[in-house]
Amino acid sequence: MKKSLYTNIPPSYVEFMENLVVEKLGLEYVQEKELHYLTDEEIKGIKDLVGSAILDPDVKGGLRWPFGKDYDVIRVDHTIAKSYRNQPIRFKLRHADRFDFTFSTGQVAREIFLKMPGIISQLRQKKTWCLKC
């Protein structure tokens, strides 16, 4: 069963969730990740572009590129995610910063994800047991 809802929430609520709810549910800190969404092809393109730069003290910034070498940035996504878990529950707090250069629109969102695979499997076991009665 997959359900989703828009979870952009105020910073004070994220702080509340992190400080109080994580403690009350007995969740353990797993990790903090900084995510950048780039494909291998995009990474290779950026490396090739940087590698083709020519040092030139006469231009602003001190770098120039040969004619025909360019790179267009269309969208930028940057996410910092903190993960917590215990046996039945996985909990993730995310701060996402997105900008689309095509439409000149941006979004900053604080998101909370709660997954309960352990609880769902326990409920399924109880349901199966009750059906046998």
- State the Cα–Cα distance between residues 117 and 109, nearest whole angstrom: 25
How many C-alpha atoms does 32 have within 13 Å on its Cβ side?
3
Q: What is the mean pLDDT of the chain?
A: 82
Each domain of the chain, given as residue ranges in start order, spans 3-131
95-113 average pLDDT score:
87
What does the pLDDT look like over 43-96, one tens digit per residue?
888 888 888 888 999 988 888 888 876 667 788 888 999 999 988 888 888 888
Output the pTM of the full model. 0.60
Burial of 93 (0-12, 13-18, 19+ CB in 10 A): buried
Q: What is the pLDDT of residue 1?
A: 45
- State the Cα–Cα distance between residues 131 and 126, nearest whole angstrom: 9
Strand ranges (DSSP E) for 5-53? 28-36
* C-alpha distances out from residue 60 to 27, 50, 70, 96, Å: 51, 16, 17, 32
Residue 2 has pLDDT above 60, yes or no: no
